[in-house]
A = this chain, B = another copy of it.
Amino acid sequence: MPLFERVTIIGVGLIGGSLGMALRGRALAGEVVGVTRVPETIAAARARGAIDRGTVDPVEGVDGADLVVLATPPDLVVPMARRALPHLRAGALVTDVASVKAEIVRAIEALLRPGSRVAFLGGHPMAGNEGRGIAAAAASLFEGAVYLLTPTPRTPADACERLTGLARALGARPVAMDPEAHDRAVAVVSHLPYLVAAALVGICGSAGNAAGPAFLGATRVAGSPVEMWAQICRLNREPIQGALRAFREELARLEAALADGDGFDALLERARRARLRLRERSQPAGRPARGAREDG
């Protein structure tokens, strides 16, 4: 039995398209409706098996949906919610997939009319690839991925249950945290590493001739579309500045220890243990570790 009768995905790009493919492939939705900005995307999304039908009209698209997923670029999530919310049926659940949460969650909760019986719960699947758009979508994108959910005191308990169930059904690992904690956490584990990768390639110059798979792996994310990342960084500026400060201090500690030889190995050993704990926590049993190269 499908988890939802009709799921409307607004923005059928990499994440929205992958979600549609996964929902349809796993029979989790009776029907998947796609809302796109350009009409051509409808045919492409249908061809990829991401949607059953599509429209460029969000109002028409959300009609009768019991789940609406806002999967537009981050800066369009709130405007699209504003457009769609008045047309949702009672009992409908709304979520988004944006990488930044506090501001978006606050804005959308402010749009919810008391008594409308429409619920919102912010979401952020930690999945993606180097591509963009429906062409890069993949039904397997969420398998093994962390799926962050950001409830607030206003979130109904059954909204949490339904989206937790959906994340699990997609093969993802749901993790709940409040929107502010989310933004601080992704500043550290996603946005900071992006800026660090950009800085690493920014200084490599002719040293790039010596670059092996480890450097390519460490800097891979710096090759992804700037538009999306710049927008994310601006939306999450303050938590990112906090993460940069902590990172700078930690790197300075390592540098000082290297210079005077004191405690250098102990700092590295602490990092090694932290990395091993991370790995145990993040890799579900049976999920193959990717081949790794270290030196190079």
In the complex, what residues of B have CB within 8 A of residue A246's CB? 203
In the complex, what residues of B have CB within 8 A of residue A222's CB? 268, 271-272, 274-275
Which of A20-28, A75-83, A247-255 lines the interface with chain B?
Answer: A247-255
Nearest B residue to A232, CB-CB: B295
A148 at interface, CB cutoff 8 A:
yes
Residue contact A218 to B197, C-beta cutoff 8 Å: yes
Extra contacts besides A145-B212, A186-B210, A226-B265 (13): CB < 8 Å: A99-B295, A126-B210, A128-B294, A146-B209, A185-B206, A185-B209, A185-B210, A186-B207, A195-B254, A218-B218, A223-B272, A241-B255, A244-B251
Which A residues between 273 and 289 are near B, CB-CB below 8 angstroms?
274-279, 281-283
Give A102 Cβ to nearest chain B Cβ, in Å: 14
A157 at interface, CB cutoff 8 A:
no
| Contact of A279 (CB < 8 Å), options: B184, B216, B290, B292 | B216
Which of A46-54, A85-93, A163-171, A256-264 lines the interface with chain B?
Answer: A256-264
Q: How many chain copies does the complex carry?
A: 2
Nearest B residue to A196, CB-CB: B196
Nearest B residue to A221, CB-CB: B294
A219 at interface, CB cutoff 8 A:
yes
Residue contact A226 to B272, C-beta cutoff 8 Å: yes
Contact A198-B290, Cβ < 8 Å, known A146-B210, A222-B275: no
Give A196 Cβ to nearest chain B Cβ, in Å: 6
Contact A251-B196, Cβ < 8 Å, known A146-B212, A201-B271, A203-B243: yes
A135 at interface, CB cutoff 8 A:
no
How many A residues face the partner with a CB closer than 8 A?
A: 99
| Contact of A146 (CB < 8 Å), options: B129, B199, B211, B219 | B211
| Contact of A215 (CB < 8 Å), options: B184, B193, B212, B268 | B193
A37 at interface, CB cutoff 8 A:
no
In the complex, what residues of B have CB within 8 A of residue A210's CB? 126, 146, 148, 175, 177, 182, 185-186, 189-190
In the complex, what residues of B have CB within 8 A of residue A199's CB? 247, 250-251, 254, 271
Residue contact A196 to B218, C-beta cutoff 8 Å: yes
A233 at interface, CB cutoff 8 A:
yes
Which A residues between 202 and 242 are near B, CB-CB below 8 angstroms?
202-227, 229-230, 233-234, 237, 240-241
